[in-house]
Amino acid sequence: MMLSQNTKQTYPRLLADIGGTNARFALEIAERQFVAVRVLACADFPRLADAMQSYLGSPEIKQELGKLGTRIAHAAVAIANPVDGDQVHMTNHEWSFSIAGMRQQLDFSTLLVLNDFTALAMALPYLDASQRLQIGGGVEQPGRTIGLIGAGTGLGVSGIVPAGTSWAPLASEGGHASFAPANNEEVQILLNLWQQYAHVSAERLLSGKGLELICTAISGKKLNAAEITHRALDGSCSACLRTVEHFCGILGSMAGNVALTLGAKGGMYIGGGIVPRLGPLFAASAFRQRFEAKGRLSGFLAQIPTYLITEEYPAFIGVSAMLADHLDKHK
């Protein structure tokens, strides 16, 4: 959703990446030059506008704006939610707002609000070798569709399709596609979860809450996601290690589904907050084997590289590109 009045392209711009747990903010002072990055807990603020005002009112931001001698006229927000029309109601948090109302309240000339994984997908062409890590084999084909999946508070799915000299992002809620078990243990996990949920989506397992549900299903242990990850990494809990192994395998299968669906010959990327925390467990997991394990189409998937996004704040890159494109079109 895009709202703008005077769209003279000026810096600085406010960029935000809003998840179900954290709200990340940055000032863009020139093309893809981000400063004053701050991460705020969503639970600390009753509304998104309050979190934005807190960021904008901080001494650091006031100092930056003072040095630049100007106000912020243009802003873009990537949010973990579908964006369709003026009203936004978050599914993984309690915030809801009117885009037009928030633009007026914060006195922006432009306020662009878009799905967070759409923004992250738009960052992918700009990532260099220092911002991604290849997992397994495969070689990307330039100018071909690129896929994206990422587990955090929820499961995001997106991609970008070549469109002339630029890219067209896909707005998707593919994380809510039905979970499909690939072995007997996963069948038992699904049967367990069916006792609680009428529909078991991929997101139900591939998320922070999903780690907890898998652990309970296979062991009866009720641990939070951070404890599961920590105990798996230090080797102190076999059930936690099995939980992480299941998680990585299921993620590989789902990533393969997305790559097949999109024909992602440009590569398949893994984002989100969970996988980077798994460290060597992910690299040693069955992720890549499960990614390729699609029967007659295994050879097709073996050609597609999978990359873990290692850039700390990749969504800002995509938000920046989409805001710049919007302002270019409304000069």
pLDDT of residue 6: 44
pLDDT of residue 1: 55
**Other residues' Cβ atoms within 10 Å of the Cβ of residue 241:** 17
What is d(CA 303, CA 116) in angstroms, rounded to the nearest whole number? 28
Q: Where in the chain is the domain with CATH 3.30.420.40?
A: 2-120+313-329
Please check whether residue 135 is in contact with residue 98, taking contact to mean a CB–CB distance below 8 angstroms.
no
What is d(CA 152, CA 175) in angstroms, rounded to the nearest whole number? 11
pLDDT of residue 331: 74
Residue ranges for the chain with pLDDT beneath 70: 1-9
Give Cβ neighbours of residue 109 (< 8 Å, ≥ 6 apart): 4, 5, 6, 7, 8, 73, 74
Q: Which CATH number fits domain 128-309: 3.40.367.20, 1.10.3720.10, 3.40.640.10, 1.10.10.10?
A: 3.40.367.20
pLDDT of residue 80: 84
pLDDT of residue 151: 94
Give Cβ neighbours of residue 59 (< 8 Å, ≥ 6 apart): none
2-120+313-329, CATH topology level = Nucleotidyltransferase; domain 5 (3.30.420)
Taken in order 32, 19, 37, 61, the sign of the CA dihedral is positive
pLDDT of residue 260: 98
Please check whether residue 315 is in contact with residue 145, taking contact to mean a CB–CB distance below 8 angstroms.
no
Quote the pTM value.
0.85
List, for residues 181-219, the tens digit of each pLDDT value: 999 999 999 999 999 999 999 999 999 999 999 999 999
Residues constituting the chain: 331
What is d(CA 289, CA 292) in angstroms, rounded to the nearest whole number? 5
List, for residues 12-63, the tens digit of each pLDDT value: 999 999 988 899 999 999 999 999 999 999 999 999 999 999 999 999 999 8
